[in-house]
Amino acid sequence: MNSNRLVNRISRRDFLKLAGAGAASVALANFLASCAPKSDGGTLNVLVPAAPDPAPPGVGQFSLDAFEQWKKNNGFEVTYEAPPWPQLHDKMAANFASGQYVHDIIYMSGWVPEFADYLIDFADELPADIIADLPPSSFSTLTWGGKRLGVIFTLSLLTMFYNKEMLDGIGVKEAPKTWDELKGVAKELTGGGKYGWVLNYGAPEGIGGVASYWMCFLQQAGGKLYDDKGQPSFNNAAGVDSLQCMVDLMEFTDPGSLSYVGINDATNVFAAGQAAMMMNWPFMWKPANDPATSKVVGKVNAAVLPAGPAGTASIDGTDAYTITSLSPNPEGARKLIEFYLDAEVQKRQVLDTGWLPIRLSVLNDPEVQAAAPNAAVVLEQAKNPYDSYVTPDYNAVTTAIGVEIQKALAGTQSAADSIKNASDQVIEIVKKRG
Amino acid sequence: MPIIQRFLTRFFIRFGLITFTLLALGPVIWAVVTSLLPLSSLTSHPIDLNPANVTVENYFLVFASSRGLVSGLINSLIIATFTSAVGLVIGSMAAYALARLNMPNSSRILMMILATQMFPGIVIVIPLFLVMSRTGLVDTHFGLIIVYLSFILPIVIWILKGFFESVPMELERAAAVDGASPFQTFRYIVLPISLPPLFATGVFAFIEAWNEFFFAIILTRIHVKTASIAIAEFSGQYQTLYGQMLASAVLASIPVVALAIIFRRFILEGFVEGAIKA
């Protein structure tokens, strides 16, 4: 009865208005659907950082002829999107959150677990000769939920850079072998506006943030970030000792280190001859030996990081290529990644840009070792632990730890308190991980 | 005593003005100085400010590099010009309607317009990206202009509404007596006497659109990168080309500075009139 009354109250004009609104909604929906981006299957969209950060042929200036030939042979156009580095993560997060196809291949730096749901496992489909030529451990930071969700394209572990001339000046002929030795050398070299050690402790989070550096110290002290059940396990003697080692070094560290945000800031101090030692990424070998940016050309040497109670340890930069699950052409994307991993392309990568290859055969190439003398050191470093402990909440974890470490380094909190506070926060973060 | 008092008053006023000017100009001067030094000087510790190192190399390099500053400047010019022009046309009409036409629920409409400004960009960027992506508007001038209009229009409306309310009613009544319609009154009576606030608001809208970075980085990809993105691309994970970055920033600020100089009379009059009348 009520419904009849309602129907009777709708005039013909109201009915026409409703019908018009309905038709307009349907038309709009169809319009939106028809406007959705489609891949023609002939274009591969790739999201990478801009050079001189780790970039593929076509963004980095190497193997350009081979790249053109590959596109011709395989019938693909490749479109690169290279946003500023600080916005790279946010951009891919926005793209993934939209659920829209935007890219086929995406560069990742420690973010694989965070975006694991949007990536595909393709490592098993790579040719056997490539797989056999990669360090097996290179997949560890890319494996999540039992799936290998990417492939590393550059061996990027932290090693030690030191100024030979400055060490020679105090009669030290080789790099310190232990952190205690390093502190002694740093003490002697500090003075007159120069420092024994420099690093960027200004940013707490991410790979290259202070928390990630502490992970090197943690592993050399025999500690681990997580136990076998995935629970935080660093609130112990190894955790406190590792941070105390960093704190003790602060006396001989460039005080600017507390505010330097990027590795380039710390490298500038080292390259200006104002600091004798630092831990650094392999890529920095080239700028440190470039007269345009460095005053220590020919004086730089590399060595494995000093050892602690458990030996030497490092972390992995985890520069990798991944394929998105929304890619309409994952096979084409995989072929392009295979091209990036081609031995000749990998060789040009290191010779022309300074980014080390990941393929062992190329790393051991005499021409490569001559052009990048630090390659052998990085290979040696790779024989020791270099876990970066990446997780989906890596940013939150490293922020929590990094902020506490910064307090200890600034002298406002003891190492023990910092480790306890950091552990408490990470326990809460892990609980939310589920 | 009055002489001493006058002297002290002048002294403190001048001291305050000089301090403010130095604080305001300091970063600009530093940007110009940095743009004229080579990377080796800038990365020295301490920074090597030897005048002998001064060079314009950074300016040549930013044009020679593949980072797209020139196309970024062109894109920014297109987007900022259209945004401010369309914003002024629509915004001035909306502001006049809200100020004078006794529209029903005008105060509610004004509050709703204001409410659109209360959402942080980070909250709306993903839904916005989704809509833009589905409608094919990502990486287009049109898409970015629409987005910029969404936050520039409310500002334009609020600024101009305040000014239009201060225009003497007698002028509009006289026009009505002569048979002018509301639109004719707006077009032939109100707009001509509103040029200073229109210019001031237009320049303000242009600067907002020119400097915007957050939406531009998410909603563009390759073809419509703006100048602010091109400048940011000089900052990398492993190397920041400070000299080239600042040279780009200096170049990118020229259009805005030129605009401010050309229209300075209108801008000053516009804001002063707005302040007195609103």
pLDDT tens, position by position, A84-109: 888 899 899 989 988 889 999 999 99
Contacts of A90 in chain B (CB under 8 A): 217-218
**A183 against B263, higher pLDDT:** A183
Residue B32 within any structural domain of the chain: no
**Which CATH number fits the domain that encloses residue B93?**
1.10.3720.10
Contact B233 A82 (CB under 8 A): yes
Any A CB within 8 A of B221 CB = yes
What is the CB neighbour count within 10 angstroms for residue A100? 17
Residue B52 within any structural domain of the chain: no
Q: Which domain holds residue B177?
A: 63-277
Nearest-CB residue to B135 (from A35, A208, A281): A35
Residue B36 DSSP one-character state: T
pLDDT for the residue A9: 60
In whole angstroms, how far apart are CA A419 and each of A37, A38, A354, A368, A422?
Answer: 48, 50, 36, 41, 5
> Which residues have CB under 8 Å from B89's CB, separation 6+?
none
Contacts of A293 in chain B (CB under 8 A): 39-40, 43
- Predicted confidence (pLDDT) at residue B31 exceeds the cutoff of 80: yes
pLDDT for the residue A55: 93
pLDDT band at A51 (very low <50, low <70, confident <90, very high): confident
The residue of chain A with its CA nearest to that of B226 is A83
Nearest-CB residue to A36 (from B44, B134, B233): B134
Residue B31 within any structural domain of the chain: no
Contacts of A84 in chain B (CB under 8 A): 217, 229, 232-233, 235-236
Nearest-CB residue to B218 (from A86, A94, A295): A94
Residue A341 within any structural domain of the chain: yes
Tokens of A39: 């891949």
Residue B183 within any structural domain of the chain: yes
Task: For residues A171 and A181, give the distance between their C-alpha atoms in angstroms, rounded to a whole number.
Answer: 13
Q: What is the mean pLDDT of residues B119-148?
A: 91
**A121 and A61 share a domain?**
yes
pLDDT for the residue B144: 96
Contact A100 B238 (CB under 8 A): no
Residue B196 within any structural domain of the chain: yes
Give the end of a domain, one of A337, A353, A381.
A381
pLDDT for the residue B277: 52
What would the 3-class secondary structure string for A113-162 be? Answer: CCCHHHECCCHHHCCHHHHHCCCHHHHHHHEECCEECCEECCCCECEEEE
Whether A353 contacts A60, CB under 8 Å: yes
Residue A35 within any structural domain of the chain: no
Q: Which of A80, A158, A147 lies closest to A119 in space, CA to CA?
A: A147
**A177 and A132 share a domain?**
no
Q: Which of A357, A330, A426, A379 lies closest to A126 in space, CA to CA?
A: A330
pLDDT band at B166 (very low <50, low <70, confident <90, very high): confident
pLDDT for the residue A260: 93
Contacts of A32 in chain B (CB under 8 A): 131, 134-135
Nearest-CB residue to A272 (from B45, B134, B138): B45
- Predicted confidence (pLDDT) at residue A1 exceeds the cutoff of 60: no
**A236 and A137 share a domain?**
no
**A370 and A428 share a domain?**
no
Q: What is the mean pLDDT of residues A153-171?
A: 96
A421-431 per-position pLDDT tens digit: 999 999 999 99
Contacts of B135 in chain A (CB under 8 A): 31-32, 35
Q: What is the mean pLDDT of residues A335-363?
A: 96
pLDDT for the residue A179: 97
- Predicted confidence (pLDDT) at residue B267 exceeds the cutoff of 90: no
**A104 and A243 share a domain?**
no
Contact A292 B40 (CB under 8 A): yes
pLDDT for the residue A35: 46
The least confident of A71-80, A346-355, B81-90, B117-126 is B117-126
A374-427 per-position pLDDT tens digit: 999 999 999 999 999 999 999 999 999 999 999 999 999 999 999 999 999 999
What is the CB neighbour count within 10 angstroms for residue B93? 16
pLDDT band at A17 (very low <50, low <70, confident <90, very high): low
| CA distance, residue B136 to nearest chain A CA (Å) | 5
pLDDT band at A37 (very low <50, low <70, confident <90, very high): very low
pLDDT for the residue A20: 66
The residue of chain A with its CA nearest to that of B137 is A35
Side-chain-facing half-sphere of B202: CA atoms under 13 Å: 21
Contact A50 B239 (CB under 8 A): no
A249-302 per-position pLDDT tens digit: 999 999 999 999 989 889 989 999 999 999 999 998 988 998 888 899 999 999
Residue B53 within any structural domain of the chain: no
What would the 3-class secondary structure string for A323-343 be? Answer: EECCCCCHHHHHHHHHHHCCH
Give the end of a domain, one of A381, A404, A421.
A381
The total number of structural domains in chain A stands at 2
Nearest-CB residue to A98 (from B39, B67, B133): B133
What would the 3-class secondary structure string for chain A be? Answer: CHHHHHHHHCCHHHHHHHHHHHHHHHHHHHHHHHHCCCCCCCEEEEECCCCCCCCCECCECCCHHHHHHHHHHHCCEEEEECCCHHHHHHHHHHHHHHCCCCCCEEEEECCCCCCHHHECCCHHHCCHHHHHCCCHHHHHHHEECCEECCEECCCCECEEEEEHHHHHHCCCCCCCCEHHHHHHHHHHHCECCEEEECCCCCCCCCCCCHHHHHHHHHHHCCCCCECCCCCECCCCHHHHHHHHHHHHHHHHECHHHHCCCCHHHHHHHHHCCCEEEEEECHHHHHHHCCCCCCCCCCCEEEECCCEECCECCCCECCEEEEEECCCCCHHHHHHHHHHHCCHHHHHHHHHHHCCCCCCHHHHCCHHHHHHCCHHHHHHHHCCCCCCCCCCCCHHHHHHHHHHHHHHHHCCCCCHHHHHHHHHHHHHHHHHHHC
**A28 against A409, higher pLDDT:** A409
**A216 and A321 share a domain?**
no
Kindly state the percentage of chain B with pLDDT values over 90.
Answer: 59
> Which residues have CB under 8 Å from B153's CB, separation 6+?
B87, B90, B91, B94, B113
pLDDT band at B138 (very low <50, low <70, confident <90, very high): very high
Contacts of B237 in chain A (CB under 8 A): 49, 53, 85, 109, 208, 262-263
Contacts of B138 in chain A (CB under 8 A): 37
B59-73 per-position pLDDT tens digit: 999 887 777 899 999
* β-bridge pairing A300-303 and A319-323: unpaired
Q: What is the mean pLDDT of residues B92-121?
A: 90
Nearest-CB residue to B235 (from A82, A86, A272): A86
pLDDT band at B121 (very low <50, low <70, confident <90, very high): confident
Residue A78 within any structural domain of the chain: yes
- Predicted confidence (pLDDT) at residue A112 exceeds the cutoff of 80: yes
pLDDT for the residue A10: 59
Any A CB within 8 A of B237 CB = yes
Any A CB within 8 A of B77 CB = no
- Predicted confidence (pLDDT) at residue A162 exceeds the cutoff of 50: yes
**A413 and A277 share a domain?**
yes
- Predicted confidence (pLDDT) at residue A21 exceeds the cutoff of 80: no
| Residues of A within an 8 Å Cβ radius of B | 31-33, 35-37, 49-50, 52-53, 79-87, 90-91, 94-95, 97-100, 102, 109, 208, 262-264, 268-269, 271-272, 274, 281, 283-284, 287, 292-293, 295
Residue A298 within any structural domain of the chain: yes
Task: Quote the mean pLDDT of chain A.
Answer: 91
Any A CB within 8 A of B239 CB = yes
**A292 and A169 share a domain?**
yes
Any A CB within 8 A of B130 CB = yes
Residue B97 within any structural domain of the chain: yes
Any A CB within 8 A of B223 CB = no
pLDDT band at A36 (very low <50, low <70, confident <90, very high): very low
Q: What is the mean pLDDT of residues B209-235?
A: 93
**Which CATH number fits the domain that encloses residue A298?**
3.40.190.10
| CA distance, residue B56 to nearest chain A CA (Å) | 16
- Predicted confidence (pLDDT) at residue A38 exceeds the cutoff of 50: no
Sign of CA dihedral A89, A94, A98, A102: negative
Helices (H), B65-140: 69-100, 106-115, 121-134
**A150 and A164 share a domain?**
no
Q: Which domain holds residue A371?
A: 43-156+317-381
The CA-to-CA distance between both ends of chain A, in Å, stands at 53
The total number of structural domains in chain B stands at 1
Contact A85 B239 (CB under 8 A): no
pLDDT for the residue A34: 46
**A311 and A322 share a domain?**
no
**A183 and A54 share a domain?**
no
A124-138 per-position pLDDT tens digit: 999 999 999 998 888
- Predicted confidence (pLDDT) at residue B49 exceeds the cutoff of 90: no
Burial class (CB in 10 A: 0-12, 13-18, 19+), A406: buried
Kindly state the percentage of chain A with pLDDT values over 70.
Answer: 90
Contact B235 A35 (CB under 8 A): no
Residue A357 within any structural domain of the chain: yes
Residue B57 within any structural domain of the chain: no
**A96 and A175 share a domain?**
no
pLDDT for the residue A369: 92
